[in-house]
Structure 1
Amino acid sequence: MAVLAERLASAETPRRRRRQAVRPRRRWSAVAERLEYVALRSVLGVLAALSLGFALRVGELGAFIGYLIDRPHRRIGMRNLALAFPERTVRERRRILRGSFLNLGRMAAELAHLPRLSAERLREMVTFEDEQWWAEAVSWERSTGVLILSGHFGNWELLVHAHGMRGYPVHMVHRAIANPLVDRWLHDLRARAGTRAIRKSRAARAVLQALREHGLLVLPIDQNSTRGLGVFVDFFGCPASTNAGMARIALRTDAPVVPAFIVRQGRSACHRVHVLPILQVERGDDPA
């Protein structure tokens, strides 16, 4: 009995230690998430207090400083640009990367002002290449909804917001951000424009329901897909695992696919939405 008691005691000790070791990490994680959230809201608060034009320039300055000190992401960016544009010189790739950083700063300024933008102001900022064609594409008589093919290209949040403000609220499959405080804030911001978030964990049923209700479903397909769920296609000459979910949904529901992308006009807060011709997915011999 004494031996058994000793074994039980020794078996319990590691469990107690594991519990004690986990709690501080969880507390620190919560503190780190809170600090990250406060820092984000503080930066956006400062940008929101400025005029939009001045906030764009301040955002550029902050992004340029980030470009100078963020060596890890700068290194990743240069490596990716070398894969995408092998014919460009190092100097040209560096210029492209720097421009990408600066655009992130402008996007931060616009994100800060987004909650206060009126529908009229948003119409001035975001115009459609052919708004009449877009209105017909998303509202024509059909038996199902519309799939909007897009990606994290340009000011993605502004594209979604502009649709809602024009009376075309969208459904969007949302992958939760690691920080739950930031995730909740972003969810609330999108909801102001009528955007209906679909959690990725229960997306299948909600996506089909949205299409049955003739909704607009936005699916960004430019992120690396989990092994087994994507198909490899050439992207800038390199095979990339691409999400095939939109194609599968289109095949199952016969929903039309409308490609749409937002492009900034120079360094301004003006953007133009480019809508490409409707795609109708056809069944082929390849089961993928």
Structure 2
Amino acid sequence: MATPPSRTSTIQARAIKMLWRSLAGRGPGTLWRLARLIGPLVHRFSRREREVTETNLVQVYPDMGAAERRRLAGDSLTHSAATMLEIGFAWMGEPERVESSLLAIHGRELLDEARAEGRGVIVLAPHFGNWEILNFWLSSHFPFTAMYEPPKIGELDAVTRAGRERMGASLVPTNPRGVAALLKALKRSEAIGILPDQEPSWGSGVFAPFFGRPAYTATLLPKLVARTEARVVTGVARRLPGRGFEIHFLAADERVYSADEVTSATGVNACVEAAIALDPAQYQWEYKRYRKVIQEQEGHPDHRRFRIY
């Protein structure tokens, strides 16, 4: 029997849904101004987000000065606040208004060429900019399937699914049935979306370098490529503060096509790094990307123990 929702989670869900609905009609300019007010408060009072963000930045930009890292951390948390505020706009705003907020599409030919060749497209969509806006555009212009894991606050499941599916996206579960659905979509020369920067469960990934440090990375991609010969691209919706967004599709690092899982995962992480380079402040650095650690193994000098959180 499912555990009934707690009173706290019910109140949280209602408040979040009210926020999204109240902001659905607001444009990017208003939402960015609100984010600039909220972001510094998150940086000051939310210890967890601040510390994880700053710890990650130390790992990936070790040569950056401390003052510059603090500014980057603050800017990143402001962009994360903007993403939260923009969800109502992406999921519930008038589709014409959301479409008009997209001021440029870069690299669309990568998708069009693959489909013209009868190949499916795997879009690696890291937590950069506003990935919900990316989902909106992809599902508006292509048959699009993405894996979906219900939110931690269960009462938000219905509104989340409705928002992501409203332009035609098909959401599938993060289990073997979902993988089978992704394979079928690729064989129909459709597009699918994968989050490349979330840590998978043990046994579903390998350690591969991410900004020079081992990060546990999913190995789903080489399995999909091997069975479908799909084209891989990186896709992000980059925020143009106060004005709107621009979509970028980037050709994938060639290593993603390797049958070797470590090589492919290394290519995946390189794709994420290339997207971050567009504007490091727009990456969600408060996610614990280095949470899993490599255990020391006798006779394996490349395996070492480290812990940064």
Q: TM-score, normalised by structure 2?
A: 0.76
Counterpart for residue 126 of structure 2: 151
Q: How does 1:159-170 map to 2 (within 5 A)?
A: 159-165=134-140, 167-170=141-144
Task: Pick one of 237, 242, 246 that aligns with 2:221.
Answer: 246
Task: Pick one of 104, 108, 124 that aligns with 1:127.
Answer: 104
**Inter-CA distance 138–262: structure 2 relative to 1 (3 Å threshold):** farther
Counterpart for residue 194 of structure 1: 168
Distance in 1 between the 2:42 and 2:50 partners?
9
Q: What letter corresponds to residue 91 of structure 1 in structure 2?
A: A
For structure 2, the residue ranges without an aligned partner over 5 or more in a row are 265-309
Q: What is the CA distance between 1:59 and its match in structure 2? A: 2.8
Task: Pick one of 52, 71, 74 that aligns with 1:76.
Answer: 52
Return the structure number with greater relative CO, CA threshold 8 A, min gap 6: 2
The answer to whether the 8 A contact 2:28-2:242 is kept is no
Distance in 2 between the 1:211 and 1:66 partners?
40
Distance in 2 between the 1:41 and 1:223 partners?
25
Q: What is the CA distance between 1:53 and its match in structure 2? A: 1.9
**Inter-CA distance 264–35: structure 2 relative to 1 (3 Å threshold):** same
- Tell me whether 1:228 sits opposite 2:203 in the alignment: yes
196-205 or 47-56: bigger deviation: 47-56
Q: TM-score, normalised by structure 1?
A: 0.81
Distance in 2 between the 1:285 and 1:190 partners?
30
Distance in 2 between the 1:263 and 1:63 partners?
18
- Render the CA deviation track for 1:23-71: whole Å, top value 9, x for unaligned: 9xx55x4322211111111222333354542232123312322221101
Distance in 1 between the 2:155 and 2:143 partners?
24
Larger of the two Rg values belongs to structure: 1
Distance in 2 between the 1:275 and 1:51 partners?
24
Counterpart for residue 255 of structure 1: 230
Distance in 1 between the 2:98 and 2:138 partners?
13
SS of residue matched to 1:178: coil
The answer to whether the 8 A contact 2:130-2:236 is kept is no
Counterpart for residue 34 of structure 1: 10
SS of residue matched to 2:158: helix
The answer to whether the 8 A contact 1:126-1:162 is kept is no
**Inter-CA distance 96–225: structure 2 relative to 1 (3 Å threshold):** same
Name the Cα RMSD after superposition: 2.6
Distance in 1 between the 2:16 and 2:196 partners?
27
The answer to whether the 8 A contact 2:103-2:246 is kept is yes
Q: What is the CA distance between 1:286 and its match in structure 2? A: 7.6
Counterpart for residue 11 of structure 1: none
Report sequence identity in percent.
22
Distance in 2 between the 1:163 and 1:204 partners?
19
- Render the CA deviation track for 1:112-170: whole Å, top value 9, x for unaligned: 22222333651442521244x1452353131x4221122111100001101222x2141
Distance in 1 between the 2:261 and 2:17 partners?
51
The answer to whether the 8 A contact 2:172-2:181 is kept is yes
Q: What is the CA distance between 1:227 and its match in structure 2? A: 2.0
Distance in 2 between the 1:179 and 1:60 partners?
26
For structure 1, the residue ranges without an aligned partner over 5 or more in a row are 1-21
Counterpart for residue 64 of structure 1: 40
Counterpart for residue 98 of structure 1: 74
Task: Pick one of 82, 92, 95 that aligns with 1:118.
Answer: 95
SS of residue matched to 1:185: helix
Query: Once superposed, which parts of structure 1, at least 4 consecutive aligned residues long, lie more than 3 Å away?
Result: 48-52, 282-288
Q: What letter corresponds to residue 95 of structure 2 in structure 1?
A: S
Distance in 2 between the 1:282 and 1:77 partners?
32
Distance in 1 between the 2:112 and 2:27 partners?
35
Distance in 1 between the 2:113 and 2:244 partners?
23
Q: What letter corresponds to residue 57 of structure 2 in structure 1?
A: L
- Tell me whether 1:185 sits opposite 2:159 in the alignment: yes
Q: What letter corresponds to residue 113 of structure 2 in structure 1?
A: A
- Render the CA deviation track for 1:219-265: whole Å, top value 9, x for unaligned: 11111122221121111111011111011110122112122222222
- Render the CA deviation track for 1:166-207: whole Å, top value 9, x for unaligned: x21410011221222212211100111111101113322212
**Inter-CA distance 52–257: structure 2 relative to 1 (3 Å threshold):** closer
Q: What is the CA distance between 1:284 and its match in structure 2? A: 5.4
